[in-house]
């Protein structure tokens, strides 16, 4: 039996990077997945084929997470279509890096809107349904930047630290209803986003990682698989680092 057989999941930021790999791993483990991304993605066809090969379905939702009215409507429609989700992964996120003293307010607001407020609204809708069903696993994608802070990322670090606080508070609110809430904090992971980092800086990052390498998206996705599955039924309110020991 596959680890997520007969389960349904909503994964935000599913078109690329970590989010796409989470969707792939969930689908390969028998889960029907609704993936949310801003616009129609190149990944949709591949994910639909993977789902068909595994006897399930993949559904792509398109919505701007910073448009809160549209986001709430989109999530409510998906929830109705799915007739409830067993798993929610809040993975969508953006960066607008820069030193804090020169940061335009729109760069602060954009990051907080997408990385913190949008997950709050999605959690609000999905967790309300989960507590009535008395089951569910919510996974919030934070970052090592949210745990330790990162120069040039005051907005991003603040948003991801806020997501950790949200995770711990929500876990305490709804634990009695058998709904678990955890956070995953990746470190330096090879994605399209990190490919844009200059090579010299990438080398400096690797030097401070005890495992002496960048992480792979499947290594993050596999931790999410554990948290989504029945292998983690007594795990809630936790922040699990996937960082090669960088945050130790």
Of 144, 189, 188, whose CA–CA distance to 163 is shortest? Answer: 144
Adjacency order of strands within the sheet including 136-141 = 58-62, 32-37, 8-12, 87-90, 136-141, 179-186, 239-242
242 Cβ contact list (under 8 Å, min separation 6): 184, 185, 186, 187, 189, 215, 219, 220, 223
Residue of 142, 157, 128, 42 lying closest to 91 (CA atoms): 142
* Per-residue CA distances from 37 to 10, 78, 88, 228 (Å): 11, 13, 14, 20
Strand partners, 155: none
Active site annotation includes 128: no
- Catalytic pick from 26, 34, 58, 156? 156
Partner residues linked to 9 by β-bridges: 33, 87
Closest CA to 87 of 25, 160, 176: 25
Catalytic positions = 156
């Amino acid at each position: 039996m596959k680890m997520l057989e007969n389960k349904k999941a909503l994964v935000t930021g599913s078109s690329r990077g970590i989010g796409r790999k989470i969707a792939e791993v969930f689908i390969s483990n028998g889960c029907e997945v609704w993936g949310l991304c801003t616009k129609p993605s190149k990944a949709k066809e591949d994910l639909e084929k993977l789902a068909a090969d595994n006897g399930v379905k993949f559904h792509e939702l398109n919505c701007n997470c910073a448009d809160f009215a549209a986001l709430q409507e989109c999530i409510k429609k998906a929830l109705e279509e799915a007739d409830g989700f067993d798993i929610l992964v809040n993975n969508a996120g953006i960066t607008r890096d820069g030193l804090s003293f020169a940061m335009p307010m729109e760069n602060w607001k954009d990051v907080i809107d997408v990385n913190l407020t949008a997950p709050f609204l999605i959690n609000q809708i999905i967790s309300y349904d989960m507590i009535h069903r008395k089951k569910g696993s919510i996974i919030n994608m934070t970052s090592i930047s949210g745990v330790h802070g990162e120069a040039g990322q005051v907005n991003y670090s603040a948003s991801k630290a806020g997501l950790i606080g949200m995770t711990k508070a929500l876990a305490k609110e709804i634990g009695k209803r058998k709904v678990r809430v955890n956070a995953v904090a990746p470190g330096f992971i090879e994605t399209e986003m990190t490919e844009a980092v200059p090579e010299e800086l990438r080398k400096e990052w690797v030097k401070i990682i005890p495992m002496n390498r960048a992480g792979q998206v499947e290594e993050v996705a596999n931790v999410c698989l554990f948290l989504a599955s029945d292998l983690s039924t007594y795990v809630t309110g936790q922040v699990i680092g996937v960082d090669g020991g960088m945050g130790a």
